[in-house]
Structure 1
Amino acid sequence: MTDTPADDLKPSFRSDVSVELVKHSAADSDVLWAARVSTAGEQSLEELQKDPERSKGLINYLMRDRHGSPFEHNSMTFFISAPIFVFREFMRHRVGWCVAGDTEITLESEAGRLRRRTIAELYELWHLGVEDRLPHSAGGVTWHSRAGKWTAQVRHGEKNQYLGLYENREAAESAVAEYRELHPGTRLHKLESVRRNHVRCYDEETLLARRARIVDVIESGVKQLIRITTESGKTLRSTVDHAVLTPEGWCKAGELVVGDAVLAEGTTPRPSEAQVPPSLRRGIGVWTSMQRERLIKETDSCHLCGRDFPRAELALDHVVPVAGDLTQALDERNLAPACEPCHAVKSAGEQAQAQRGGEIAKAVADRIVSIEQDGEEMTYDLSVEGPWHNFLANGIVVHNSYNEESGRYRELLPHFYVPDESRKLVQEGRPGKYVFVEGTQAQQELVGRVMEDSYAHAYEAYQEMLAAGVAREVARAVLPVGLFSSMYATCNARSLMHFLGLRTQHELAKVPSFPQREIEMVGERMETEWAKLMPLTHAAFNANGRVAP
């Protein structure tokens, strides 16, 4: 079932999160350069070496007067390890990359049919639901015995509307009908089918089209946008730090220049069986079978379905078909274990495609012809299931900003969160006015004991299902949100400030925030790393009430 050492499968418990800054291009000079380039041009680089106090004053001015775009010309990538419930909060208060609301996302059905929806429409359907055109107002006419009259009232939305007392029933009913005519209502409900949508994405090695499930649709706030237009007429409106796939790899939108190429939706001739002579195909088959013992472990995972099998039930599969790219036919990196059922289905599909000829969907290069500023507006992003984490935005391949550990593709280890005594346990007050206070020793002991017992039981059930051959993506459903996961998160200083304003408490904050303690711990550690990189910007953030510009 697994090659994980037995000691690693014993539940372990942690009370802290970890945040590591793994790469960055961020300094106060980035803000100064971006702010001065409009007036000083190329000499803006020389201006950075001048009066430090003047530089400090400029950053403070930009922060105070909410000039946000100069704070976006930088990047920080963090590796975060925290309980799963922290990442659910992280996704709600998103920092990082995003696109305009009118950006069309290419959706793909299981049968391969394509359709497009704007990302703003997806957000509304995902979170708010759709109108079913049925009256939302309820209520009506009742007899008020004490007053001796008829009462008319209507419930519209979330409020009761009292329309008054009437001498006769007809007058009361007329008042209700008139109110409903003046206030037509529609009821909203969520469509489960929307939650099952898949996007068209691309294998970043072969550039062939694939499908990936949408995990979440996020509203990311009002941000400055640029517009990229390509030779084929495609346009992408995004923030400068949104990652775009190019023939050389991932690149930030703001780093692209006219003449660069991005990868966009396209087609390529479908490979034909006639391209590979039968004698050569047999030779490749013999060579491939000779690699089985060396490249397949005694128990290994099928790269197509993710389940574990003994070596005898696995074949070596060419990830990129032989007819698709003959140069990879004898490349070990193009070989992966596949169970017999999956291998048979994949082989049959490849043969059918080869016989049909025609074209297949593949990302192709598209040269940029213009890049321009495009104002500020509400922005959105998708979270897409792996392994590729990309999607089509107006026909151009872009990345989603978070890569979280996937329980579909690897066995999750039993590291769980148990709060220590510094975590306040008791909530007092009502929503919006509540505070947390210290728990008793008995409560602390209860929390630790119950959590550890439930974690151990859940993980034992998870292991039992894996041992029985149940797919990881099914077995993981029994695991609690206190399980530790990990992810990479990329952001710029402006989006990080927005996140910190929402997810940390601070005595200097103009707008109070009441974050859950565990995500606040993540925010505090991100802020510590950021303050080292951009001390002037961090000081200005605090001096101006910790409100993002």
Structure 2
Amino acid sequence: MTDTPADDSKIELRSDVTVELVKSSATDSDVLFAARVSTAGEQSLDELKKDPERSKGLINYLMRDRHGSPFEHNSMTFFISAPIFVFREFMRHRVGWCLAGDTEITLESESGNLRRRTIAELYKLWHTGVEDRLPHSAGGVTWHSRAGKWMAQVRRGESNHYLGLYENREAAESAVAEFRELHPSTRLRRLESVRRNHVRCYDEETMLAQRARIVDVIQSGTKSLIKITTAAGKTLRCTVDHAVFTPEGWRKAGELAVGDAVMAAGTGPRPSEALVPPSLRRGIGVWTAMRRQELIKEVDTCHLCGHDFPREQLALDHVVPVARDLAQALDAKNLAPACEPCHAVKSAGEQALAQRGGKIAKAVPDRIVGIEDAGEEMTYDLSVEGPWHNFLANGIVVHNSYNEESGRYRELQPVFYTPDESRKLVQQGRPGKYVFVEGTAEQQELVSRSMEESYVEAYRTYQEMLAAGVAREVARAVLPVGLYSSMYATCNARSLMHFLGLRTQHELAKVPSFPQREIEMVGEKMEAEWARLMPLTYAAFNTNGRVAP
């Protein structure tokens, strides 16, 4: 890497946001067709020849009486460039793609073990953690070398309880378990949440199974759902806008029909590659051993079980097994400390993985045999780490709805946000009922100067780390949330109305909102594009107090 530390001239300061409508399929007629098909059936096609202006009353009725699903049969994709802190607000209002709460997400451990949790359960655990009742006691079973027997003892509170010597370990453990059962405790222990979990995902070119870290779990509001059933018996309940992977690529659930295929979890023949030659395996082992001192601290954490061990009890483990990806065998970033028991278990599993022949996990086509309405209920979504941004929902490959520029794969550019004179700086009032007022000239100067100085120093540090060979995904941690980033956001009219109701202030709004000004700037520009595409729907939204149906 030849990057050099930044100088002040490299920093660009902006006070605006960019919103571009890059593609759309959204008209007022979409709402009318969707509403009339429920009563007119195939005769609703006749409405294609009629002027939608005639039907503004129907659109207003649908909006007023909260008939929401007709407003979902359309799509808009926006390109947005804004400070990172604006996108954090976006992630709280996922616009469109959502799953039913009982949808089971496939999680995959480091060693390749799979298990399922519902997305509603993941949401709860993600935001609250896990509470587990354990006896408030320590101790257990140890070998008493002088007596040649197993000793059972328990410490409870301030007292030690000696339970005796036993000929075998099972008897000693039984004594400890009996004591703890007779002396229960109501102490609650907060366990680690699901924030280290990974999902099963798929390489969209090879269809082979991979792993991806969960970035966020989002509750997306009550929405209308459809139910897709496949020939293999898999079912998926999701909104019509949710992207589903098919043999032809990504398609919206609402565009699919009986007879189409979706990609689902399955197996295929393992490639007939030869095993890693013994000489190469020995070379990889020598190279790995030479990096023990460099990559394992004197006391370090096993990346598999999360416990701390001295260096002599740790080995360097290939996170992605050599048998799965030989290209990462000599990549130091693919090495992590693992305790001896965990390393032995994982290595045994990798040996099975390396065996010739057999089956390998991959996505396979599964034909749709049924599509039906599935009512309305609370919905959820995941954001998962790239490069594929997909996961398994009830065994069917689906996409997450939020794609932001990643500092893992490209060097981030030094464009930073600083408010101009029109940005009100002082907050007055209490949360939920406050206003912003103009700041003084001194406050404006302080904000501009302090931000610029902070940005210059942060970007200089970022460049220094890149020049020293530090990975981009590590170096980016020093950059502030005022850095500009880019993303694509796809939504339908109904979900956009939900977003605008919360993230814009308007004199016609029945329910007042107090958005951060910068997210409101994005919302205003999205609103202007939508108003041009669907003027009758937009007028009905305002007439009915800017409350989404």
Q: Could you say which TM-score interval applies, normalised by the shorter chain?
A: 0.7 to 0.9
Residue 121 (structure 1) aligns with? 121
1:27-38 aligned within 5 A: 27-38=27-38
Query: How much has 1:357 moved relative to structure 2?
Result: 2.3
CA distance in 1, matches of 2:37, 2:538: 22
Distance (whole Å) between structure 2 residues aligned to residue 119 and residue 406 of structure 1: 25
In structure 1, distance between residues paired with 2:40 and 2:3: 60
| Match of residue 341 from structure 1 | 330
Query: What secondary structure does 1:496 align onto?
Result: helix
Which amino acid in 1 is paired with 2:50? K
Counterpart AA for 1:375: G
Separation in structure 1 between the aligned mates of residue 71 and residue 220 of structure 2, nearest angstrom: 16
The 8 Å contact of residues 389 and 399 in structure 1, kept in 2 or not, is answered as yes
What amino acid maps onto 1:404 in structure 2? E
Instruction: Give the secondary-structure state (helix, strand or coil) at the position aligned to 1:480.
Output: coil
Residue 232 (structure 2) pairs with residue 243 (structure 1): no
Deviations 1:453-488 (A, max 9, x none): 001101111111111111111111111011111111
Q: 1:530 to 1:345 in 2, by over 3 A?
A: closer
User: What is the RMSD of the two structures over their aligned residues, measured on CA atoms?
Assistant: 3.0
Q: Provide Cα deviations, 1:309-368, integer angstroms capped at 9, x if missing partner.
A: xxxxxxxxxxxx9x99xxxxxxxxxxx99688239989x999985543221110000000
- Name the amino acid aligned to 2:417: Y
Instruction: Tell me how far 1:99 sits from its aligned partner.
Output: 0.4
Q: Offset of 1:50 from its aligned partner? A: 3.1
Relative to structure 1, the CA distance from residue 451 to residue 5 in structure 2 (aligned partners, 3 Å threshold; closer, same or farther) is: closer
* Residue type of the alignment partner of 1:116: R
Task: Report the equivalent of 1:141.
Answer: none
User: Partners of 2:351 and 2:413 in 1: how far apart?
Assistant: 39
- Aligned pair in 2 of structure 1 residues 218, 2: CA closer, same or farther (>3 Å)? farther
Deviations 1:206-260 (A, max 9, x none): 1111111111100000000000000111000000010000000000001100010
Distance in 2 separating the partners of 1:359 and 1:95 = 38
- Are 1:393 and 2:393 counterparts? yes
Are the aligned partners of 1:221 and 1:379 in contact in 2 as well (CA < 8 Å)? yes
- Contact in 1 for aligned 2:239/2:253 (Cα 8 Å): yes
Aligned pair in 2 of structure 1 residues 358, 16: CA closer, same or farther (>3 Å)?
same
Query: What amino acid does structure 2 have at the position aligned with 1:528?
Result: A
Aligned-partner Cα distance in 1 for 2:2–2:115: 40
* CA distance in structure 1 between the partners assigned to 2:5 and 2:465 by the alignment: 18
> Deviation digits for residues 2-45 of structure 1, max 9, x if unmatched?
68998998111100110111111110000000001122222212
Structure 1 pair 406–20 and aligned structure 2 pair: CA distance change class (3 A): same
Partner of 1:360: 360
TM-score, normalised by the number of residues in structure 2: 0.76
Moved more, 349-358 or 379-388: 349-358
- Which whole-Å CA distance do the structure 2 matches of 1:129 and 1:353 have between them? 33
Q: Give the Cα–Cα distance (whole angstroms) in 1 for the partners of residues 244 and 3 of structure 2.
A: 36
Q: Quote the residue 1:93 is aligned against.
A: 93
Whether the 8 Å CA contact 2:423–2:438 is kept in 1: the answer is yes
Question: What corresponds to 2:475 in structure 1?
Answer: 475
Show structure 2 runs of 5+ residues with no match: 135-185, 276-321, 336-346
Amino acid at match of 1:28: D
Matches for 1:49-448 after TM superposition, within 5 Å? 49-50=49-50, 52-132=52-132, 191-273=191-273, 341-342=330-331, 353=353, 355-448=355-448
Give the match for residue 290 of structure 1.
none
Distance across 1 between alignment mates of 2:462 and 2:333:
29
State the Cα deviation string for residues 359-383 of structure 1 (Å, max 9, x = none): 1110000000100001000000001
3-state SS, counterpart of residue 430 of structure 2: coil
Deviation digits for residues 502-549 of structure 1, max 9, x if unmatched? 000000000000000000011001001111110000000000000000
Paired with 1:412 and 1:522, the residues of 2 have a C-alpha distance of 21
3-state DSSP class of the match of 2:330?
helix
State the shift of 1:54 in Å.
3.4
Q: 1:187/1:222 Cα in 2 relative to 1: closer, same or farther (>3 Å)?
A: farther
The one-letter code matched in structure 2 to 1:114 is: L
Q: What is aligned with 1:41?
A: 41
In 2, Cα distance between equivalents of 1:489 and 1:4 = 34
Cα deviations across residues 413-470 of structure 1 (Å, max 9, x unaligned)?
1110001011100111222222110011111111011000001101111111111111
- For each residue in 1:116-154, what CA deviation from the matched residue of structure 2 results, as whole angstroms up to 9, or x when unmatched? 1000000001112333459xxxxxxxxxxxxxxxxxxxx
Tell me if the contact between 2:244 and 2:397 (Cα under 8 Å) persists in the aligned partners: yes
Q: Does the residue aligned with 2:49 lie in a helix, a strand or coil?
A: coil
SS at the partner of 2:214?
strand
Asked if the contact 1:272–1:354 (Cα under 8 Å) also holds between the matched residues in 2, the reply is no
- Return the letter of the residue paired with 1:223: K
Q: Distance in 2 between matches of 1:496 and 1:97?
A: 12
Do the aligned residues in 2 keep the contact of 1:257 with 1:368 (CA within 8 Å)?
yes
Q: Using a 3 Å threshold, how does the CA distance of structure 1 residues 460 and 80 change in structure 2: closer, same or farther? A: same
Contact 1:273 1:354 in 2 (8 A): no
Superposed displacement of residue 51, structure 1: 5.5
Call closer, same or farther: CA 1:517–1:231 in 2, change over 3 Å: same
Q: For 2:102, what is the secondary structure of its paired residue?
A: coil
In 2, Cα distance between the equivalents of 1:474 and 1:109?
Answer: 23
**Amino acid in the other structure paired with 1:367:** R
CA distance in 1, matches of 2:89, 2:395: 30
Q: Matched residue of 1:386: which SS?
A: coil
- 2:315 is matched with none
Q: Could you tell me how far apart the structure 2 residues matched to 1:69 and 1:207 are?
A: 34
**6-15 vs 87-96, greater mean Cα deviation:** 6-15
Aligned residue in 1 for 2:495: 495
Cα distance in structure 1, aligned partners of 2:79 and 2:52? 32
> Structure 2 vs 1, CA of residues 441 and 9 (structure 1 numbering), >3 Å: closer, same or farther?
closer
Corresponding residue of 1:150: none
Instruction: Report the Cα distance in structure 2 between the residues aligned to 1:358 and 1:494, rounded to whole angstroms.
Output: 48
Distance in 2, Cα, partners of 1:238 & 1:111: 30
Counterpart CA distance in 1 for 2:114 and 2:226 is 27
Q: One-letter code of the match for 2:84?
A: I
Distance (Å, rounded) in 2 between the aligned partners of 1:258 and 1:8: 59
- Residue 232 of structure 2 aligns to a residue whose secondary structure is coil
Contact 1:8–1:414 under 8 Å retained in 2: no
Aligned residues of 1:223 and 1:378 also touching (Cα < 8 A)? yes
Structure 2 CA distance, aligned partners of 1:101 and 1:372? 18
What residue in structure 2 maps to residue 520 of structure 1?
A: 520
Aligned partners of 1:131 and 1:186 also within 8 Å: no
What SS is found at the alignment partner of 1:363?
Answer: strand
Equivalent position amino acid for 1:245 in 2 = F
Contact in 1 for aligned 2:201/2:392 (Cα 8 Å): yes
Cα gap change, 1:188 to 1:422, in 2 (>3 Å): farther
Closer, same or farther in 2 for the Cα pair 1:186/1:495, shift >3 Å?
Answer: farther
Check conservation: 1:273, 1:351, Cα contact below 8 A.
Answer: no
CA distance in 1, matches of 2:446, 2:33: 55
Paired residue type of 2:495: S
Q: TM-score, normalised by structure 1?
A: 0.76
Match of 1:453 in 2: 453
Structure 2 counterpart SS, 1:265: strand
CA 1:344 to 1:472, structure 2 compared with 1: closer, same or farther past 3 Å? closer
